[in-house]
Structure 1
Amino acid sequence: MAEHLRHHGIAPTGYPFARWHPLPGGGIAAEAGFPVGAPIANSGEVEASSLPAGPVLAVWHSDPDEKLPLSYHAVHDWLETGDAVATGDSWEIYHDLPTCEHVGTRIEIVQPITFPTTPPHRN
């Protein structure tokens, strides 16, 4: 993706991201890219897409990669409170450059959400 952008003279407007899409049968499709300021044309393995707009729950992960599942558990636990409902697949934004000595320790997990129209019932 980065090479495709460079080849077409397009500069990213933000940090790289990856989005995971569960598939039937337990597989996962990975989508990875960079935000850009203008639409790009599909070309070979590069396919234009967009991330959804609207409210999100964002959680910062600042531990080594192997502890990333704990941050996803925090997202799931917060959603279990019933204050909001997940509305699609989450994505990760990587705030470290590949040459950074702490690569992988500043990851933002973004989960699109919506708020229920009726308040949750609490005892």
Structure 2
Amino acid sequence: MQNYEIHSRTRDEQHTAVAETTLPISEIGPWLGQQYGAVAKVLATQGLAPAGPPFARYHPVAEGRFHIEAGFPVAAAIDPADGVRPATLPGGPAAETTHMGPYDAIEPAYGALAAWVADHDGELAGDAWEVYLTSPDEHPDPATWRTDIVQPYRAR
């Protein structure tokens, strides 16, 4: 089992360009791969570039189903086009950790973040997001995948 080192930091609100949908867990991976390309294409047609690595924010809606926002951080709000819209990631206090390994083994990182927030007299403040630092296309071995998880929180 991976030992998760948790860091707290105050984040600035971040403009993003996202595609969104609601899917069961089994369909998320293929959808994400398609959407990152679609978002990058919209950014390129607007003369913009991502301001960081791809991310996905998961909002649980029912057992095994999530509403997902996936895309890239950007320097300023984009114009909506081709199913891609402007959005933001929230600013404020966040607990963060890095998961090394396959995505289907990431759940303990979320547990570690929730425990850290509770241990530091806080409460979760909205849904977490994942920042994908390793491309599975470039690094096919899941053991090498590096994913940051960001969990907003507030003091009780």
TM-score (norm 2): 0.66
Q: In terms of Rg, which structure is larger?
A: 1
- Root mean square deviation of aligned Cα: 1.8
* Higher helix fraction (1 or 2): 2
Return 86-95 or 7-16, whichever deviates more.
7-16
1:45 maps to 2:112? no
Match of 1:84 among 122, 127, 134: 122
1:70 corresponds to which letter in structure 2?
Answer: P
What count of residue pairs does the alignment treat as equivalent? 115
Give 5+ residue unaligned stretches, structure 2.
1-38
The residue correspondences of 1:84-123 to structure 2 (distance < 5 A) are 84-101=122-139, 102=141, 105-116=145-156
Kindly state the Cα deviation for residue 80 of structure 1 after the two structures are TM-superposed.
Answer: 3.4
2:114 and 2:124 in contact (8 A); partners too = no
TM-score (norm 1): 0.82
Fraction of identical pairs, as percent: 37
The residue correspondences of 1:42-81 to structure 2 (distance < 5 A) are 42-81=80-119
What does residue 8 of structure 1 align with?
Answer: 46
* Higher strand fraction (1 or 2): 2
Give 5+ residue unaligned stretches, structure 1.
117-123
* Residues in 1 aligned to 2:135 and 2:44: alpha-carbon distance in whole angstroms: 17
* Residues in 1 aligned to 2:119 and 2:145: alpha-carbon distance in whole angstroms: 27
